[in-house]
């Protein structure tokens, strides 16, 4: 079974709809991240969480919110989706053991299309 | 602000060729540098992680080097195969954030 899973894998929605993307991990990591990927732009950080009570904005958090329901679960919400949020979204985790500090492990991605 | 650049953006080589992918970064205060492979429409697979105190890491036909002072890393792929065709991303970790390059798209021709 995959260590980092994302649901749904694909989603098409309309402008103005609320969307939630979910991420679960079985790696036992404390740190979780949400990124979006756009062609030619690489990955950009939306939000990150170092534990259940610690959530931080990344470089492109506007229009997004997150919830860390448990150590293993981190969800991303688009309160009112707009077409320029069409992208590939990735969840990632990393541990806190010194030797693996910041080594990141990625989920398979969610392809979101906003019409 | 850390910036990560990968050159070239795309590369096409014949099967069997040895090749080098480049990654440069502007701030040398990093914890580690990670190389990933991404197949079209898929997730990222970690290939190699180099800690800031290390100079290189090897895995099979892959060798990654790190020169913090010059802000450079290279990924060397020996005896390339068509199955190596993918996009290769480097990611630099510093502080609490990881900054990604835009990637090099590699095509290995049979």
The pLDDT tens digits of the residues spanning A29-79 come to: 889 999 999 987 789 999 999 889 999 999 899 999 999 999 999 999 999
Band (pLDDT 50/70/90 cuts) for residue B94 is: confident
What residues in B contact A92, CB-CB < 8 Å? 44
The pLDDT, as a whole number, for residue B31 is: 85
Residue B66 main-chain phi, psi, to 5 deg:
-140, 130
- Rounded Cα distance, A73 and B62, in Å: 33
| Nearest residue on chain A to B96, alpha-carbon basis | A102
Residue B91: strand pairing partners = B34, B100
Would you call the peptide bond into B8 cis, given omega within 30 degrees of 0 as the criterion?
A: yes
- For chain A, strand residue ranges (E) read 4-7, 10-13, 19-25, 31-38, 42-51, 54-57, 64-70, 73-78, 87-94, 104-106, 110-114
pLDDT beyond 80 at A1:
no
| Nearest residue on chain A to B39, alpha-carbon basis | A108
pLDDT beyond 90 at A102:
no
The pLDDT, as a whole number, for residue A4 is: 94
Cβ of A58 and B97 within 8 Å?
A: yes
What is the maximum alpha-carbon separation in chain A?
44
- Per DSSP, A9 falls in state S
Cβ of B43 and A41 within 8 Å?
A: no
Q: Identify the three-state secondary structure at position B110.
A: coil
- CA dihedral for B61, B62, B67, B70, sign (positive or negative): positive
The pLDDT, as a whole number, for residue A104 is: 87
**Stretch B22-31: mean pLDDT, rounded?**
92
- Rounded Cα distance, B93 and B98, in Å: 4
- Rounded Cα distance, A103 and A1, in Å: 20
The pLDDT, as a whole number, for residue B82 is: 97
**Stretch B68-88: mean pLDDT, rounded?**
96
| Nearest residue on chain B to A56, alpha-carbon basis | B96
What residues in A contact B44, CB-CB < 8 Å? 43, 90, 92, 106
State how far the alpha carbon of A58 is from the alpha carbons of A98, B45, B53, B54, in Å.
23, 22, 27, 28
Can you list the alpha helix ranges (DSSP code H) found in A1-115?
none
What residues in B contact A45, CB-CB < 8 Å? 97-98
| Nearest residue on chain B to A101, alpha-carbon basis | B31
The pLDDT, as a whole number, for residue A100 is: 52
Distance of residue B50 Cα from the nearest chain A Cα, in angstroms: 9
| B108, two tokens | 């290995």
Mean pLDDT over all residues of chain A? 91
Among candidate residues B94, B93, B91, B87, the one with its CA nearest the CA of residue B108:
B87
Residue A69: strand pairing partners = none
Cβ of B41 and A102 within 8 Å?
A: no
């Amino acid at each position: 079974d995959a260590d980092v899973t994302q649901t749904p894998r694909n989603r098409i929605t309309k402008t103005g709809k609320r969307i939630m993307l979910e991420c679960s991990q079985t790696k036992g990591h404390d740190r979780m991240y949400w990124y979006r990927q756009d062609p030619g732009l690489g990955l950009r950080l939306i939000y990150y969480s170092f534990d259940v009570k610690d959530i931080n904005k990344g470089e492109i958090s506007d229009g997004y919110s997150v919830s860390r329901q448990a150590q293993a679960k981190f969800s991303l919400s688009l309160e009112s989706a707009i077409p320029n949020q069409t992208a590939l979204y990735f969840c990632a985790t990393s541990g806190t053991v010194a030797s693996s500090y910041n080594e990141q492990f990625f989920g398979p991605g969610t392809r979101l299309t906003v019409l | 602000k850390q910036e990560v650049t990968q050159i070239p953006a795309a590369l096409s080589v014949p099967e069997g060729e040895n090749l080098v992918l480049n990654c440069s970064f502007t701030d040398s205060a990093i914890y580690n540098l990670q190389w990933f492979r991404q197949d079209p429409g898929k997730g990222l697979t970690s290939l190699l992680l180099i800690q800031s105190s290390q100079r290189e890491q090897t895995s099979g036909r892959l060798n990654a080097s790190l020169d913090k002072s010059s802000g450079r890393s290279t990924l060397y792929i020996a005896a390339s195969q068509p199955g190596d065709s993918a996009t290769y991303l480097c990611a630099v970790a510093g502080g609490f954030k990881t900054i990604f390059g835009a990637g090099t798209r590699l095509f290995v021709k049979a």
